[in-house]
Amino acid sequence: MTEKQKTVGLGSVYRIKVTLKGLKPPIWRRIEVSDRITLAKLHSVLQVVMGWTNSHLHHFRIGKTYYGEPDPDFGADTVNEKSVKLSQLLLREKRKFIYEYDFGDSWEHEILIEKILPASEGKKAPVCLKGSRACPPEDIGGVWGYAEFLEAVDDPQHPEHEDMMEWIGGQFDPEAFDLDEVNQYLKRIG
């Protein structure tokens, strides 16, 4: 079997940059996933790498099509994410789509397909290659609530400082991102 035949049989790996929209400086992650991953599993990967707790509804918006967990209360036009693999979407490099998490806070993530690489034996996916900044806390109120939260926790004189510090459990570092910890969690959902 030639090297090319081995690579074809293994499929492809998508190098993806995930950026939480609306925040400056940006919160982002660079990941690699197999082209054989379902959108349901990609959702699980995104939850881990971003630091969310999977406590809210979500969907992917690719072109005009929504993929997620079909729910009659949120429209019948959602395609079941469990039945769709990345390879079936015919995505190309530099293509972008949206992953929205928590419809109340409306956390929109821009998903950019940076590269499509041949898979290789021994290389593990999913994996997080890089990232920057901590994920906002759940139920903070979206982009605007997060800005107010940061203002309160950064200023001990702020009237909401003590309440916010207690609510968050005593500490929050908006610059924190632990690549090793993220990859340990990814190994569990592999």
pLDDT in tens, 127-139: 999 999 999 999 9
- Which CATH number is associated with domain 3-134+175-189? 3.10.290.30
Query: Which residues in the chain are classed under CATH 3.10.290.30?
Result: 3-134+175-189
Span 39-68, pLDDT tens digits: 999 999 999 999 999 999 999 999 999 999
| CA 84 – CA 177 distance, rounded (Å) | 30
For residue 184, how far is the Cα from the chain centroid? 16
CB 122 within 8 A of CB 6: no
Q: How many Cα atoms occupy the beta-carbon half-sphere of 20 within 13 Å? A: 27
Cβ neighbour number for residue 118 with a 10 Å cutoff: 14
pLDDT at residue 1, rounded to an integer: 34
pTM (2 decimals)?
Answer: 0.90
Confidence of residue 13 (pLDDT cuts 50, 70, 90): very high
Angle at 161 between CA 19 and CA 147, to 5 degrees: 25
pLDDT at residue 11, rounded to an integer: 87
User: To the nearest whole number, what is the mean pLDDT of the chain?
Assistant: 91
Share of the chain above pLDDT 70, in %: 93
What single-letter amino acid sits at 51?
A: G
Span 124-172, pLDDT tens digits: 789 999 999 999 999 999 999 999 999 999 999 999 999 999 999 988 9
pLDDT at residue 5, rounded to an integer: 38
Residue 22 pLDDT exceeds 70 = yes
Residue 51 in tokens = 């630091």
What single-letter amino acid sits at 136?
A: P
